[in-house]
Amino acid sequence: MFSSLHKGLSVKFALTITAVVAGVAFTIGAVIVTLDWQRFHRELENRALLLAHSIAVTAPEDILQSDFWSLYKSLKIMANKVPGGTQDTHILTGMILDTDGIVLAHLDPNNNPLGIPPVHSSEIETQLFAQAREVRTPTILNSGVGNGGFLEGVAPIYSDEKLLGIVRVRLSKRELYLKAQRSTFIIIGLTLALVALGSLLGTAISRRITMPLSAMTEGMEAVGRGEFSNIKPIPVGNDDELGILASAFNKMAKEMAEKKSLEEQIAVSEKLVALGRISAGVAHEVNNPLAGLMNCIDTLKKHPEDPELVERYLPLLDKGLNRIKNIVESLLVELRIEEAHSTDSSSSLDDLRDIVESEINGRDIDFVWDNHLGTEVMINKRRVQQIVLNLLKNSIQALHDKGTVVFRTFQDGNCIILEVSDNGPGIPPENRKQLFDPFFTTKKNGTGLGLWIVYRLVESMRGVIEVESEVGNGTQFQVTLPAMEVST
Amino acid sequence: MLHLSIFLYASTVNGARADDLEVARSDVPIRFGLTAVVVRENLRFLDQWAYYLSKKMGQPVEFVRRRSYREVMDMLKSGSLDFAWICGFPYVQNRDPEFIKMLSVPVYKGSPLYHSFIIVPKDSPYQSLDDLKGKTFAYSDPESNSGYLYPQYLLAQKGTNKESFFRQTFFTFNHAETVEAVAEQFADGGAVDSYIWEYLQEFRPELAEKTRVINQSPVFGFPPLVSRLGVDLETVWRMKRVIKGMDEDPDGRKFLNGLKLDSFGESPDSIFKNIREMAQKIRTGNPLDGSTASNENANTIKRQ
């Protein structure tokens, strides 16, 4: 579970940071490529204009003197040395036309001879020719998009304000695409590098965040299992929020471990106290009859021949020894019941009714028996019977001569509920704490073991026992037992 | 004289003595005019040749290049050139008063003669001058024999209108560039000096090989070297001796080889007879009368 949390968060962090870096890098890259494209386009336009203009400036003399060879040579020389051109600059064609559109010089003289209009291989060429002839100031004509596209710089040739002709110079846009391609590759490379860096950074950051979290999760689970002493301290990195959290967790874990060990010490001493109390109780309970029994035996030793004494003391001896036997049996009740594994239908509880009736023994006590458990519900007969019987006996004894005792049992979900209530005098607050202590009793002849046995049995079945009592209004015991435990 | 006076003035200013005059004379550069006849691009060759001539003459020799024959002729007339390598056509023109004198005629392939070639792009369909009607045509110089006079004469002989036979004509003012214009198909045809065309075949074959000769003229007197009449006879004599002696020493032969010439010799004025006749026919506008500019005449000259 920790590893999935660890991976989940670290992957999410890393992915988020990578995505953000990639997004930013791509956006910036796209902007740069667009700006580059525009700049290159402007540069190419300027170059075409400059070239056309330079040729136009030198042309008039040759045109006026019909020196076509000179004109052609300057056109050729200029075209071979495009101002600001690079090795990628590619001049597609160039021409000088007179005012009638007749070729005075053309870079492709074979197909466009001197003295006739240039050849138009397409509709676009015809349109461009018409547009170019209208040009009176240096102008750029654009062929449109595509790798085969071109920019045409057109410049009029003037001499003394008289129009002599026009220069048309056509530069390929290939250079533009090559440059854009190059810068795109560079941007993509940079972006990928940034993305890689971003993901490394993301991984590092997420590890830094999730590692203490994973350690804390592990620690929390150890707390959940109650293994306070097993919690490894989380390494505290920086004094940021995570560091503070980690040190707080470490502090908490340490305090919990200390508390746990303190509780264990208390539990040990409480056990010792309880053991002492039980030992004292046993000693006291056994000692009381023992003193009488020793007396009887002494007297019988002194007068072995007196049958009257034997007749008088034997029942006393019997009674005293029985009392000791009962005490010992009660103390061993758990052992006894453990030995007897007896599952039976819940209707077997009804056997108790007679025992309770005989306990009431004709006194003015109303006894209500209300068993709602289905016969299919299986119970551990001996244990449950013992719990119910002890609680009922307790209630009946509390009522003295008059009152009502109600027993009710039913199933609530996965639990079996046993309820015993009476309208007796209730339990005084000062006694409530010791209610389930062994040998604690308010009755003259009580052993003080009844409720202690109930407590031990309920505990052994992982149940809960609750007591509600109001002085003068009665008491209700409610035992909730898990159905699973009840049946075994 | 002009140069001398300028120098005198300068030496006076510097306080020089009158005896310096003799030394000064030898320091005044001899100005030698060149035109389209030679390949102008090879600057280093011309510099070395000028250096050679200077050494031989004991006086600096300077080559002065001008684009057209007209400019060179004007400079000769005005005295700013002492010698020049011109063409047969300007040589035969009437001048009053005459201001030049023949110095030497180069010997090319054993004779002081050459042709005019009508050339077309190698892959073009043109086979004769008639095929070039309505096409573009490159002349070299309006005062060139092989590059202008001869084709004009041919057209005149045909009885066609010289001005409208071709759709468009232009001057390149350099035979080599005429070859270039035709090679690049900027011109459909052109007229060039056979010497230059053959020279290019050797030194710039990639250019010459793109052209093809469709018409070869009868032989004409090779473009001559002339001196200005005002130049003192001693200098002219020395120049003639140096030029003519070039084939006798290794350095001189090196330059002759560079020019693809055998030597600079002396030839009678009569080798320019047919050029003179063509010029006259063109001038009088009666070319049909020009049967004298015939091969017979040329052959006669060649037999000399």
Which domain CATH number covers B179? 3.40.190.10
Chain A CB within 8 Å of residue B188 CB: yes
Q: Average pLDDT in the A299-306 region?
A: 84
Does residue B24 carry a pLDDT above 60?
Answer: no
Residue A211 tokens, joined: 């590692």
CATH fold for domain A2-180: Beta-Lactamase (3.30.450)
Chain B CB within 8 Å of residue A115 CB: yes
Least confident of A269-278, A409-418, B217-226, B253-262: A269-278
Taking the C-alpha atoms of residue A394 and residue A451, their distance in angstroms, rounded to an integer, is 8
Regarding predicted confidence, which is higher, B185 or A18? B185
Q: How many CA atoms lie within 13 A of A197 on its CB side?
A: 9
Count the domains in chain B: 2
Distance from CA of A95 to the nearest CA of B (A): 12
Taking the C-alpha atoms of residue B204 and residue B198, their distance in angstroms, rounded to an integer, is 10
Do B170 and A115 lie within an 8 Å CB cutoff?
no
Q: What pLDDT, on a 0 to 100 scale, did the predictor assign at position B19?
A: 42
Does residue A117 carry a pLDDT above 60?
Answer: yes
- B201 and B234 in a single domain? The answer is no
Distance from CA of A102 to the nearest CA of B (A): 11
* Closest in A69, A113, A116 to B170, CB measured: A69
- B72 and B6 in a single domain? The answer is yes
Chain A CB within 8 Å of residue B183 CB: no
Q: Average pLDDT in the A171-180 region?
A: 83
- B106 and B187 in a single domain? The answer is no
- B296 and B250 in a single domain? The answer is no
Do A69 and B185 lie within an 8 Å CB cutoff?
no
Do B181 and A115 lie within an 8 Å CB cutoff?
no
Identify any residues that bridge with A296 across adjacent strands, giving them in sequence order.
none
Distance from CA of B173 to the nearest CA of A (A): 9
Distance from CA of B141 to the nearest CA of A (A): 12
Least confident of A267-271, A340-344, A469-473, B29-33: A340-344
- B137 and B84 in a single domain? The answer is no
Q: What pLDDT, on a 0 to 100 scale, did the predictor assign at position B21?
A: 41
- B74 and B37 in a single domain? The answer is yes
Structural domain span for residue B179: 113-220+273-302
Confidence of residue A253 (pLDDT cuts 50, 70, 90): confident
| CATH assignment of A341-486, among 3.30.565.10, 3.40.50.920, 1.10.10.10, 3.90.850.10 | 3.30.565.10
Residue A374 tokens, joined: 């289905």
- B213 and B232 in a single domain? The answer is no
- B133 and B192 in a single domain? The answer is yes
Do A115 and B167 lie within an 8 Å CB cutoff?
yes
Do B168 and A114 lie within an 8 Å CB cutoff?
yes
- B167 and B286 in a single domain? The answer is yes
Distance from CA of B25 to the nearest CA of A (A): 40
Regarding predicted confidence, which is higher, B299 or A4? A4
Three-state SS at A25: helix
Highest-confidence segment of A85-99, A279-293, A310-324, B195-209: B195-209
Chain A CB within 8 Å of residue B138 CB: yes
- B160 and B147 in a single domain? The answer is yes
Chain B CB within 8 Å of residue A109 CB: yes
- Say if residues B269 and B245 touch (Cβ distance below 8 Å): no
Residue A4 tokens, joined: 């999935």
- B13 and B108 in a single domain? The answer is yes
φ, ψ dihedrals at B268, nearest 5°: -75, 155
B171 contact residues in A (CB cutoff 8 A): 67, 69
Closest A-chain CA to B121:
A110
B167 contact residues in A (CB cutoff 8 A): 114-116
Q: What pLDDT, on a 0 to 100 scale, did the predictor assign at position B206?
A: 93
Q: What pLDDT, on a 0 to 100 scale, did the predictor assign at position A281?
A: 75
- Tokens 């400079």: give the residue: B75
What are the residue boundaries of the structural domains of chain A, listed by start? 2-180, 341-486
φ, ψ dihedrals at B145, nearest 5°: -70, -60
Confidence of residue B20 (pLDDT cuts 50, 70, 90): very low
Q: Average pLDDT in the B49-72 region?
A: 92
Q: What pLDDT, on a 0 to 100 scale, did the predictor assign at position A334?
A: 56
Q: Which of B144, B37, B132, B22 is nearest to B84 (CA)?
A: B37
Q: Average pLDDT in the B216-242 region?
A: 94
Taking the C-alpha atoms of residue A413 and residue A425, their distance in angstroms, rounded to an integer, is 33
Dihedral in degrees, nearest 10, Cα atoms B218, B223, B224, B226: 140
Q: How far is C-alpha A439 from the geometric centre of its chain's CA atoms? A: 52
- B279 and B186 in a single domain? The answer is yes
